[in-house]
């Protein structure tokens, strides 16, 4: 019998650092912030894993990726096997490895994190996802079962649902309003954080599974659920239309030219490639003094995009302090490293125009933190007489989004008072043929939660349709 | 890809495309719009439906060459393809009243035309007021003249056609003589603003079809936000039609001018690229 050597983790080894591009250089173009782990990095990092009997990391993963198993396969240098292990639970490792808040999920639960740094699970996942062209194999699909499912929206939730259903033998069509797929992965998350080639590869992968994509198809205007069921023979519908409607500050001057909401700023840049104007036709205003309002990941994306569009100074103004920002720590760290300045405890009062009619000045007010509010964070309170002004030629508001209003035009489903769709834990809506998931159910949340909802709904749809 | 079935040239700079779009043809209504991305590097630009035929599966839109996208479009011919068309978007036009003045200015005449035609089809008494800077910029005159209108007025700034002056002159006369009980306006901001002001004097309700800059056209980006009655609304999903009496016109005018410099640069870049190819 061959000798079986028991795995001994490399206890005490430091976390393998990310291969980040120098901040000063990368902040001037749209190249990826970090180039990802090499195979050697991945093996070194995999050797830090304690291979816990009761892996807490898995509990932290919203879709239950078998993390210790794929890490073990990395140690064995079985790259194809490692990728397959992830893909069994998560169709989009390249995306999730980059944009999941691992610090609150898998890595947040990792035992190593109690005393030092957790295993870099996100980096490992990303690296494996990126090896798909080299080692990936198309997942096997069950034989066609003759049932047709329509998915509305090609963001993370729609993609996850479509992929899962296709693998189970369903005939799936995804309807997308834009001319290209990916939803927020394409129009929202910048190239430097999630290269669009990766999103495209994932969509191509779904097409290889037999999923049809119909672009330029605005659900609720071009068709509705009844037409899909009655005229086009669909048996079920999954609504994943997102919650992309912007919120505004509702302060004077907010409509001045030069004041953007982050959705517009990012859509122009990411989807329409305004950073390549005039080769691409869509323009964007390049500010010298850019001020961003908000403290979430979208605010960080907008601020960092402004730097890459050539801003001399980018200030991120937030009503609370950095500690209360909802953005990922890594994003805040990257933004600061690249030169974004954070202005804490500052609330905008009004935008003022310059002689050219564009925004030129912002009046703000100092805030102080009071008692915790419903969110558990300390409530910002205005400090009287603390008004001050800063120059600004582009302002970007990133203070959250609302439900997509097309949801109600699309199908007769029950909505709550925020316009979000009511579902049970399987994604079932009040309409027996319609399921829903992602941000249109939860309100703005994470990519992985949206994907998890898509997967859950896919199984519920399968169970229902195959029982018929 | 959307195939161009027919191209009609109305004047030097005004064209109409008939495009194959069977699904869209079943759902289009007057006042709604579509968004065109002419090619891979193109901008998304809104155009109002001019006509559609659900049986034959096509839609039509009229455009005037004013910028890079429309210049590129004008060079396409029957049998060519437009990269992307999305629609129908926005809410259909709904006009109350049975005696309606339809006021169109400049490029807005391309939007006023299908609305006037729809109102005629609904059996309403329709008065059309066409306005332009001069005779050459007055588009679709023959098409309007062919509609069963109560009366057709033409005004030009320089008097090269019709009455010298602005659209509010005939509009005021119609209001004064109690000929109309509602109005619809589409065109440059000052034209819509002063039409609304004239109608207010006579307490005539007036709807304006607003044309702010758009990016996505589905309510996601907020670029087309307009102030109406103190509320921030999106022309793409809440409009494009609004009660003209409540619109903040100065706000709209400022926002429309956001990319003047870039538009000029885009045209220059395009012309240089075209010159290179020749």
The residue among A358, A363, A301 whose CA lies nearest residue A332 is A301
Q: Does B264 touch chain A (CB under 8 A)?
A: no
Which SS3 state, helix, strand or coil, does residue B159 take? coil
B269 touches chain A (CB under 8 A): yes
User: Is B176 a member of any domain?
Assistant: yes
Report d(CA B145, CA A452) in Å as an integer.
59
Is the same domain home to B138 and B184?
Answer: yes
Q: Which fold has domain A23-135?
A: Fumarate Reductase Iron-sulfur Protein; Chain B, domain 2 (1.10.1060)
Same domain, B42 and B104: no
CA distance A444 to chain B (A): 13
Minimal C-alpha gap between A385 and chain B (Å): 28
pTM, two decimal places: 0.93
- What distances in angstroms separate CA B259 from CA A160, A195, B45, B215, one per listed residue? 38, 28, 14, 13
Domain boundary among B89, B111, B135: B89
- B69 close to A (CB below 8 A): yes
Give the sign of the dihedral formed by CA B163, CA B165, CA B169, CA B171: positive
CA B145 to chain centre: 18
Q: Which of B209, B244, B271 is the last residue of a domain?
A: B209
Cβ contact, residue pair B41, A279, below 8 Å: yes
Cis before A278? omega within 30:
yes
Inter-chain residue contact A215 with B42, CB threshold 8 Å: no
Query: Is the separation of the CB atoms in A58 and A66 below 8 Å?
Result: yes
Q: How many residues does chain A have?
A: 468
Residue A306: the pLDDT is 97
Same fold, A148-244+403-467 and A246-401: yes
In a domain, B216, yes or no: no
The residue extents of the domains of chain A are 23-135, 148-244+403-467, 246-401
Angle in degrees, CA A81, A85, A91, rounded to 5: 120
Backbone φ, ψ for residue B10 (5° rounding) = -90, -35
Helix-strand-coil percent breakdown of chain B, rounded to 5?
35, 35, 35
CB < 8 Å to A302, chain B? none
Q: Which fold has domain A148-244+403-467?
A: FAD/NAD(P)-binding domain (3.50.50)
* pLDDT given for residue A1 in this prediction: 53
Distance CA A127, CA A123 (A): 6
Bond from prior residue into B88 cis (ω within 30 degrees of 0)? yes
Measured distance CA(A370)–CA(A379) in Å, rounded: 5
Tell whether B215 lies on the interface with A, counting CB pairs under 8 A.
yes
Q: Which of residues B64, B89, B114 is at a domain's end?
A: B89
Which carries the bigger pLDDT value, residue A275 or residue B274?
Answer: A275
Question: What pLDDT is stored for residue B278 in this prediction?
Answer: 47
Q: pLDDT averaged over chain B?
A: 92
Chain position carrying tokens 């839609």: B59
The pLDDT of residue B43 is 92
**Residue of higher predicted confidence among B274 and B267:** B267
Same domain, yes or no: B70 and B125: no
Q: Would B259 be classed as within a structural domain?
A: no
How is residue A126 written in tokens?
């990303």
**Are B218 and A177 a contacting pair at CB < 8 A?**
yes
Counting beta carbons within 10 angstroms of the beta carbon of residue B276, is it exposed (0 to 12), middle (13 to 18) or buried (19 or more)? exposed
Interface A–B counts its CB contacts (< 8 A) at: 113
C-alpha to C-alpha distances, A175 to A56, A169, A186, nearest whole angstrom: 37, 19, 15
Q: Dihedral of CA A95/A98/A99/A100: which sign?
A: positive
Domain, as residue range, for B56? 2-89
Domain shared by B108 and B28, yes or no: no
CATH number for the domain harbouring residue B74: 2.40.30.10
Residues B238-262: tens digit of each pLDDT: 999 999 999 999 999 999 888 888 8
Query: Looking at the partner chain, which of A177, A223, A273 has a beta carbon nearest the beta carbon of B86?
Result: A177
**A277, closest residue in chain B (CA to CA):** B266
Residue B68 has pLDDT above 90, yes or no: no
Contact criterion met (CB < 8 Å) for B23 and A223: yes
User: Considering only alpha carbons, which residue of chain A is nearest residue B67?
Assistant: A281
Q: Which residues contact A390 (CB under 8 A, 6 or more apart)?
A: A289, A291, A315, A343, A361, A362, A364
* CATH class of the domain whose range is A246-401: alpha beta
| pLDDT given at position B276 | 56
Please report residues of B whose CB lies closer than 8 A to that of A264: 215, 221-223
In this structure, the answer to whether residues B73 and B143 fall within a common structural domain is no
How close is the nearest chain A Cα to the Cα of B35, in Å?
9
- Tell me, yes or no, whether B78 and B25 share the same domain: yes
Report whether the peptide linkage leading into residue A254 is cis, meaning its omega lies within 30 degrees of zero: no
Cβ-based interface (< 8 Å): residues of A facing B: 177-179, 187, 215-218, 221-223, 244-246, 248, 250, 254-258, 261, 263-264, 267-268, 272-273, 276-283, 285, 357-358, 404-406
Q: Report if residue B144 sits inside a domain.
A: yes
Taking CA atoms, B89 is separated from A2, A232, A406, in Å, by 69, 22, 11
Nearest Cα neighbor of B34 from B21, B25, B45 is B45
Tokens in use for A17? 């650092």
Contact B86 A404 (CB under 8 A): no
Report helix, strand or coil for A312: coil
Q: What is the ipTM of this complex?
A: 0.92
Q: Are B198 and B141 part of one and the same domain? A: yes
User: What are the φ/ψ torsions at residue B18 (nearest 5 degrees)?
Assistant: -105, 125
Banded model confidence at residue B274, pLDDT cuts 50, 70, 90: low
Cβ partners under 8 Å of residue B55, min gap 6: none
Q: Give B72-128 pLDDT, tens digit per residue.
A: 999 999 999 999 999 999 999 999 899 999 999 988 998 899 899 999 999 999 999
Q: Would B61 be classed as within a structural domain?
A: yes
Can you give the pLDDT at residue A156?
A: 95
Residues in chain B within 8 Å Cβ distance of A244: 220
Whether B75 and B103 share a structural domain: no
Residues of A in contact with B83 (CB under 8 A): 179
B88/A221 CB distance under 8 A: yes
Query: Per residue of chain A (468 residues), what is the pLDDT tens digit?
Result: 556 678 889 988 999 999 999 999 999 999 999 999 999 999 999 999 999 999 999 999 988 999 999 999 999 999 999 999 999 888 899 999 999 999 999 999 999 999 899 999 999 999 999 998 888 777 788 999 999 999 999 999 999 999 999 999 999 999 999 999 999 999 999 999 999 999 999 899 899 999 999 999 999 999 999 999 999 999 999 999 998 889 999 999 999 999 999 999 999 999 999 999 999 999 999 999 999 999 999 999 999 999 999 999 999 999 999 999 999 999 999 999 999 999 999 999 999 999 999 999 999 999 999 988 887 888 899 999 999 999 999 999 999 888 887 778 888 999 998 889 999 999 999 999 999 999 999 998 889 999 999 999 999 999 999 987
DSSP alpha helices (H): ranges in A119-169? Answer: 121-130, 132-135, 156-167
Q: Indicate whether B238 belongs to any domain.
A: no
Judged against a pLDDT cut of 90, whether residue B64 lies above it is answered with no
Domain count, chain B: 2
CA distances from A248 to A245, A303, A398, B15, B48 (A): 10, 17, 8, 38, 28
Q: What is the DSSP letter of B247?
A: B
């Amino acid at each position: 019998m061959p000798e079986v050597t028991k795995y001994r983790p490399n206890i005490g080894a430091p976390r393998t650092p990310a291969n980040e591009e120098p901040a000063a250089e990368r902040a001037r173009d749209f190249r990826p912030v970090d180039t990802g782990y090499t195979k050697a990095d991945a093996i070194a990092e995999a050797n830090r894993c304690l291979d816990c009997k009761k892996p807490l990391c898995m509990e932290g993963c919203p879709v239950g990726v078998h993390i210790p198993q794929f890490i073990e396969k990395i140690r064995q240098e079985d790259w194809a096997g490692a990728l397959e292990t992830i893909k069994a639970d998560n169709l989009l490792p390249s995306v999730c490895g980059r944009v999941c808040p691992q610090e609150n999920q898998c890595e947040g639960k990792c035992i190593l994190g109690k005393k030092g740094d957790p295993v870099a699970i996100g980096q490992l996942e990303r690296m494996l996802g990126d090896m798909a062209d080299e080692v990936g194999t198309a997942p096997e699909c069950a034989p066609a079962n003759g049932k047709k499912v329509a998915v509305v929206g090609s963001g993370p939730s729609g993609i996850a649902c479509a992929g899962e259903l296709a693998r189970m033998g369903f005939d799936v069509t995804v309807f997308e309003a834009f001319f290209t797929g990916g939803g927020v992965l394409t129009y929202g998350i910048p190239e430097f954080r999630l290269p669009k080639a990766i999103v495209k590869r994932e969509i191509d992968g779904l097409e290889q599974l037999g999923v049809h994509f119909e672009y330029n198809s605005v659900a609720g205007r071009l068709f509705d659920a009844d037409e899909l069921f009655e005229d086009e023979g669909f048996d079920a519908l999954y609504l994943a239309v997102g919650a992309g409607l912007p919120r505004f500050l509702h302060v004077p001057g907010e409509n001045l030219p030069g004041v953007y909401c982050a959705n517009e700023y990012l859509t122009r840049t990411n989807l329409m490639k305004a950073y390549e104007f005039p080769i691409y036709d869509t323009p964007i205003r390049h500010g010298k003094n850019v001020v961003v309002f908000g403290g979430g990941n979208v605010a960080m994306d907008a601020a960092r995009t402004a730097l890459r569009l050539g801003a001399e100074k980018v200030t991120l103004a937030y009503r609370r302090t950095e500690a209360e920002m909802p953005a990922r720590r890594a994003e805040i760290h990257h933004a600061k490293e690249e030169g974004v300045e954070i202005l804490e405890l500052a609330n905008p009062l009004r935008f003022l125009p310059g002689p050219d009619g564009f925004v030129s000045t912002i009046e703000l007010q100092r805030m102080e933190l009071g008692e915790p509010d419903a969110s558990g964070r300390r409530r910002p309170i205005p400090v009287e007489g603390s008004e001050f002004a800063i120059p600004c030629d582009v302002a970007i508001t990133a203070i959250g989004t609302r439900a997509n209003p097309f949801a109600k035009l699309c199908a007769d489903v029950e909505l709550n008072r925020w316009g979000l769709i009511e579902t049970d834990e399987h994604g079932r809506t009040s309409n027996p043929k319609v399921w829903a998931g992602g941000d249109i159910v939860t309100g703005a949340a994470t990519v992985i939660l949206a994907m998890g909802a898509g997967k859950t709904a896919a199984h519920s749809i399968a169970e229902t349709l195959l029982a018929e | 890809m959307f195939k161009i079935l027919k191209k009609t040239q109305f004047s030097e700079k005004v064209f109409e495309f008939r495009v194959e779009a069977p699904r869209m043809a079943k759902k289009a209504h007057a006042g709604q719009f579509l968004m065109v991305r002419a090619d891979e590097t193109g901008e998304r630009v809104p155009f109002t439906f001019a006509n559609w035929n659900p049986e034959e599966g096509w839609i039509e839109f009229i455009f005037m060459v004013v910028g890079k996208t429309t210049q590129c479009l004008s060079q396409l011919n029957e049998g060519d393809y437009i990269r992307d068309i999305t629609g129908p978007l926005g809410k259909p036009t709904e006009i109350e009243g049975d005696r309606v003045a339809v006021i169109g200015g400049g490029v807005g005449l391309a939007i006023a035309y299908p609305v006037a035609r729809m109102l005629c089809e609904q059996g309403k008494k329709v008065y059309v007021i066409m306005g332009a800077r001069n005779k050459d910029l007055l588009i679709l005159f023959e098409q309007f003249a062919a509609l069963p209108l109560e009366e057709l007025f033409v005004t030009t700034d320089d008097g090269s056609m019709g009455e010298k002056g602005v659209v509010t002159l005939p509009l005021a006369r119609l209001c004064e003589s109690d000929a109309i009980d509602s109005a619809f306006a589409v065109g440059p901001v000052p034209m819509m603003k002063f039409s609304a002001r004239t109608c207010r004097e006579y307490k005539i309700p007036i709807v304006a079809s607003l044309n702010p800059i758009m990016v996505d056209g589905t309510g996601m980006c907020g670029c087309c936000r307009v102030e109406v009655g103190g509320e921030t609304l999106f022309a793409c999903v809440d409009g494009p039609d609004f009660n003209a009496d409540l619109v903040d016109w100065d706000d709209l005018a400022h926002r429309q001018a956001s990319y003047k410099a870039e538009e000029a640069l885009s045209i220059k870049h395009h012309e240089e690229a075209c010159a290179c190819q020749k």
